[in-house]
Structure 1
Amino acid sequence: MLLRLRVSLPDRPGGLGQVARVLGALGADILQVTVLEREAGRAVDDFTVSWPGTTTPAAVHERLSSVPGVKVEGVWPTKEVPGSALDYDLLMHVAGDPARGFATLVDALPGLCGGEWALALADGVVRHASLAAPPVFELAAPPPPRPAVHVAGERRLMLLPVKGTAMNLVVARSEGPPFHRAELDRAARIVEVVSRMAARFEPVND
């Protein structure tokens, strides 16, 4: 199984290696490490690991939490295969068929952001939806003027307004931690690029 682990650890030599040794001892194959932030003497890293057998996210969380100085912020299943270049694939598809740009973007966002589903809202109506997305969705508050993260019950949401339009993109997951600001910034840049490519071909204000 593929898992993502979000770990906060002391930002000092050997800290990352200590976590890697524990993961190796548990039988995990580390496929990718992404540094999300480094500040105030600590780092927040995302590990993508391949884990054999029937290990559960809860068991992984418990074992890693025993490492001194390490705080486990989340362990959750992922379908994002490291090295698959999903963002480049998305842009190539949009360039080939810009009239379907927003639909293609919505389909790709869950994989790009470690989410479970995504959808595009305009004037309260779902215009595009990925697999597993609800057919009807209502924001609890007015859409934010800029990209934002939000927690609604068990849902962790990423809210991405499309500049100059009435459209807002929503990415959701029910497992793992809230979306990190590094994830939000990356998604917002991708949305901006795709919206510029697609804006001439798809009406979004009606």
Structure 2
Amino acid sequence: MAGLAGWQTDTMFLLRIQMPDRSGALGQVATAIGSVGADIHLIEVVDKASSQTVIDDFLLQLSSDTLPEDLVSACLQLEGVQVLWLSRYPDGYGIESDVAIASEIGDNRDRALEVLLERVPQVFHAQWAAVVGVQEQKILMGTENAPQLGADQIAALEPFTTEHFSEMSEAWLPGWGSVALAVIPAGKDRLLVAARHGGPDFLESELYRLHHLVRLTRGSVADGGLAGPPTHPADE
């Protein structure tokens, strides 16, 4: 498990669970979570892993006397349940749905890509997101935690013309650890990149959702243009 060191009460956690796709399974998991004093704030269906299993994300808060390991142990006692990921959820991040973001994009056509960029961390539980200029070989705009990327790091994002996900080793971004990426073409020579440090990996369903939201912004990025001021301008 990642991101558990130095936790404290009132810290939000993101828990990703794979469970049997059968009636009552979700209730059993929710009961197990509650049995160790965790308060569930949100349950989101992330993927149907197979005809027999589903993957759900739980946004939850632990009581002051509960260790993250207790939460994991309670879940693993259930037959067919796997804990895929547990990490702290970034402070100040809210929860927004794809529908809400699509509506906001429609209401802000002049800065649609910027609106999506700002919301990607909340919607997709990512640490940062950025719009990368392939020809410029730099980040054109990014969220608060987005790092600066050099030419070699951007070259590693290939292919530039199709959406994909990949896992980068620590060597790709020294000091940041391994990074799970989702890369989506977002106009001429533009990429939208979403990043999770240490994981979990992006799923096919998440990649499809992100691709769909990027398509909704296409009117604002015609011919490679970017509407509106950068959210977090790259250093000159």
Give the TM bin, normalised by the shorter chain: 0.7 to 0.9
Provide structure 1 residue ranges, at least 5 long, that are not aligned to the other structure. none
Structure 2: give runs of 5+ residues left out of the alignment.
1-10, 170-177, 227-236
- Describe the superposition over 1:42-76 as per-residue Cα deviations: whole angstroms up to 9, x where unpaired: 22222222323275545533442233221111112
Aligned twin of 2:173: none
1:93–1:6 CA distance, 2 compared to 1 (3 A): same
Q: Report the identity percentage.
A: 23
Provide the rounded CA distance (Å) in 2 between the counterparts of 1:171 and 1:76. 17
- Among residues 115, 130, 145, which one is paired with 2:161 in the alignment? 145
* 1:21 maps to 2:34: no
- Alignment partners' CA distance in 1, 2:210 and 2:181: 12
Cα offset for 1:120? 1.0
Q: Pairwise mapping of residues 29-44 of structure 1 onto structure 2 (< 5 A)?
A: 29-35=39-45, 36-37=47-48, 39-44=50-55
Could you tell me how far 1:189 is from its partner in structure 2? 1.1
Return closer, same or farther for 1:199/1:108 CA change in 2, 3 Å cut-off.
same
Alignment correspondent of 1:160? 184
Q: Is the 8 A contact 1:64 1:72 kept in 2?
A: yes
After TM superposition, the score normalised by the length of structure 1 is 0.82
CA contact (8 A) 2:36 2:66 kept: no
Aligned residue pairs, count: 200
Cα distance in structure 2, aligned partners of 1:12 and 1:32:
20
Pick from 178, 183, 190: which aligns with 2:201? Answer: 178
Aligned-pair CA distance for 1:91: 4.7
- For 1:92, the equivalent position in structure 2 comes to 104
SS at match of 1:69: coil
Change (3 A) 1:25 1:104: same
* 1:160/1:188 contact within 8 Å kept: yes
How far apart, CA to CA, are the structure 1 residues paired with 2:37 and 2:157?
A: 44
Residue type matched to 1:116 in 2?
Q
1:179 maps to amino acid: F
Q: Give the CA RMSD over aligned residues.
A: 2.6
Check whether the contact 2:16–2:84 (CA below 8 A) recurs between aligned residues.
yes
**Aligned match of 2:175:** none
TM-score with structure 2 setting the length: 0.73
Say which of 131, 134, 138 aligns to 2:147. 134
**Compared with structure 1, are the counterparts of its residues 114 and 69 closer, same or farther at alpha carbon in structure 2 (3 Å cutoff)?**
same
Where does residue 4 of structure 1 map in the other structure? 14
